[in-house]
Amino acid sequence: MNFEFGEEQNLLRDQARGFLTDNCPPAVVRRVLEGDELYAEDLWQKIVEMGWTAVVIPEEYGGLGLSYLELVVIAEELGRACAPVPFGSSVYLATQALLAAGNETQKGHWLPKLAAGEAIGSFAYAEGNGQTNAASLQTRFEGGKLSGHKVVVADAQISQLMIVVARSASGDGASLYLVPTDQEGVSFEPVKTLDPATNHANVSFNGASAELLGSEGGGWALLEQLLDGAAVLYAWEQLGGSDRCLEMAKEYAMGRYAFGRPIASYQAIKHKLANMYVKNTLARSNAYFGAWALNTGADELPLAAATARVGSTEAYYFSSKENIQTHGGMGYTWEFDCQFYYRRSKVLAVVIGSEGFWQEKLIQASAQADVA
């Protein structure tokens, strides 16, 4: 049994944590949260220089050709730092969509740009309140042109390339389309969200030039595959944030005195923190299995991904809210950093479908996996 990360990944984790401690302290998150920047462009450039956008892209497309085990380590560290960069949109979603379904021309054109940070990718899916599904899709592709409206698309305005889920002209099926954003037919309307350290916009397509990605009408299966992979990667990012919440709560509780002793000595606080630890530990173990399944392309991936995603979503919500609670009134102030994680936990909880969406996927996958 060797259900652990290897030495290379452990070294990478140390390196990534050191890099983010230096280059993404809370002041950077706060700068984006409070200012007009859409993302921390300076940090993003350094992340690109570190090669993190290129990790799983094959060398022939300008990538590093490393494995998903390296990518999840980076995802976790970015989550810990609450980094205000478009890593998930560009790396977990857009890059993955191209790797999964792009033809040689598409891959040859976009992957080197994504790897080198010359392009940022985004992913457009939701169309309004509630779940979007194959039957409800309104965005349409006809004669090489895309028309419709997508809502609350992460990193839309800073992306050069958008992957759009839309209905294909020749039938009812969904397909994925590749849309360069720098064109007349694509317009943005920025939206305010729970987390101003991230950026989102509603996107309108008015006869925008678009290319099919993958097979026509076969997009829903491709989308599911894409979401499964992204679920594992987001689960690691969520886990990083959730673990950081436990650390923050612990640090504060050890130093804060009430009634003559550290609040960390009260069982009400100890049990709260023990609960965070339990949830984070179970989530981590599920995320390990998700990483293994993603990395080996195992048949268990749909079940492993849903399990990792539900576990991390639940853990991060719990840890981020109870971190504020442990900090008491100070945790509710603008001045303290607890808010970063409470905001981000919810943004990441819905980015590729909520907990309920993934619980449903889990049950469907368990029927296929013949769970003992």
Partner 1 sequence: MDFEDSQEEATFRSEARAWLEANVPSEDELAGLDGMARAKFWQKRKAESGWACIRWPQEFGGRDANAIQQVILGQEESKVAAPETGVFGIGQGMAAPTLMTWADEEAKKQFLPRLASGEDIWCQLFSEPAGGSDLAALRTKAEKDGDDWIINGQKIWTSGAHYSDWGILVVRTDPSVPKHKGLTYFYVDMKSPGIEIKPIRQISGEANFNEVYFTDVRIPDSQRLGDVGQGWQVSLTTLMNERASIGAGGGGTKFSTVKKLAETVQINGKPAIEDSHVRARLASWYVQEAGLKYTSYRTLSALSRGAIPGPENSIGKLVGAVKSQDMASFAIDLLEQQGIVRDADADEMFGSLFQDTYMSIPGLRIAGGTDEIMANIIAERVLGLPQEPRMDKGIPFSEVPTGN
The CB-of-291 to partner 1 minimum distance in angstroms stands at: 7
Pairing of strands 161-168, 140-142: parallel
3-state SS string over 23-89? HCCHHHHHHHHHCCCCCCHHHHHHHHHHCHHHCCCCHHHCCCCCCHHHHHHHHHHHHHHCCCCCHHH
User: Is residue 253 involved in binding partner 1 (CB under 8 A)?
Assistant: yes
Pairing of strands 121-124, 161-168: parallel
User: Is residue 190 involved in binding partner 1 (CB under 8 A)?
Assistant: no
Burial (0-12, 13-18, 19+ Cβ within 10 Å), 271: exposed
The CB-of-257 to partner 1 minimum distance in angstroms stands at: 11
What's the Cα-to-Cα distance from 168 to each of 67, 105, 125, 164, 175, rounded to whole Å? 33, 21, 14, 11, 6
Closest CA to 38 of 164, 130, 114, 122: 122
> For residue 294, what are the contacts with CB-CB under 8 A and spacing of at least 6?
68, 72, 228, 229, 232, 233, 301, 304, 305
User: Is residue 357 involved in binding partner 1 (CB under 8 A)?
Assistant: no
User: Is residue 2 involved in binding partner 1 (CB under 8 A)?
Assistant: yes
User: Is residue 282 involved in binding partner 1 (CB under 8 A)?
Assistant: yes
Which of 242, 286, 323, 345 is close enough to bind partner 1 by CB under 8 A?
A: 286
Query: What single-letter amino acid sits at 351?
Result: V
- Going residue by residue from 218 to 247, which x/- string records binding to partner 1, judged by CB under 8 A? ----------------------------x-
Q: Which stretch binds partner 1 (CB under 8 A): 27-35, 199-207, 212-220, 310-318?
A: 310-318
User: Is residue 97 involved in binding partner 1 (CB under 8 A)?
Assistant: no
Which C-beta is closer to partner 1: that of 145 or that of 250?
A: 250
* 237, 81 Cβ separation under 8 angstroms: no
Which of 131, 274, 299, 333 is close enough to bind partner 1 by CB under 8 A?
A: 274
Which of 45, 172, 356, 368 is close enough to bind partner 1 by CB under 8 A?
A: 356
User: Is residue 268 involved in binding partner 1 (CB under 8 A)?
Assistant: no
The CB-of-183 to partner 1 minimum distance in angstroms stands at: 41
User: Is residue 29 involved in binding partner 1 (CB under 8 A)?
Assistant: no
What does R_g of the chain's alpha carbons equal in angstroms?
Answer: 20
Q: What tokens does 292 get?
A: 């293994």
Which C-beta is closer to partner 1: that of 133 or that of 138?
A: 133
Binding interface with partner 1 (CB under 8 A):
1-6, 69, 246, 250, 253-254, 261-262, 264-267, 269-271, 273-275, 277-278, 281-283, 285-286, 288-289, 291-292, 295, 306-307, 310-311, 314, 356, 358-360, 362-363, 366, 371-372
